[in-house]
Amino acid sequence: MNVAAKLASFSEHWSPRVAGELNGQQVKLVKFKGEFVWHHHEAEDELFWVVRGRFRMDYRDRAGQETSLEVGEGEFVIVPRGTVHRPVAAEEVHVMLFEPAGTLNTGNVRDARTIDDPQRI
């Protein structure tokens, strides 16, 4: 599986593609640009690995306090279940996700960018 070639096969933002599956987890490839919706995942931890570019992960704690983390190319971040977050990308960024099969991209929120059944590539 060549990741760059698979990433070149689609252009939509915020639309994860399933590139592999193992142990009940999925490897997804996705392109971000702009600001995503605030959400959390009730029962799933999520790993974001930057293949190309960079993005900012915003976090909001229970008191409503917001913090941010810059994630650059060749770096990854793990967002634990229950953590309210949103990725924000000033420029397009290419990301690999590792998460349980069936994890919804918008977590506990439904919005225009919710993808119920991601395509396989």
Angle at 35 between CA 17 and CA 118, to 5 degrees: 15
The rounded distance, in Å, linking the Cα atoms of 39 and 109 is 6
**Is 67 a binder of a second copy (CB under 8 A)?**
no
Angle at 112 between CA 83 and CA 45, to 5 degrees: 25
**Is 82 a binder of a second copy (CB under 8 A)?**
no
What is the torsional sign of CA 58, 71, 32, 18?
Answer: negative
Beta carbon of residue 100, minimum distance to a second copy (angstroms, whole number): 5
Q: Is residue 93 within 8 Å of 54, Cβ to Cβ?
A: yes
**Is 18 a binder of a second copy (CB under 8 A)?**
no
Beta carbon of residue 118, minimum distance to a second copy (angstroms, whole number): 17
> Which residue of 77, 88, 109, 121 would you call a contact of a second copy, by CB under 8 A?
77
Nearer to a second copy, 34 or 80 (CB): 80
Q: Which residues bind a second copy (CB under 8 A)?
A: 1-4, 20-23, 25, 27, 44-47, 51, 72, 74-78, 80, 98-100
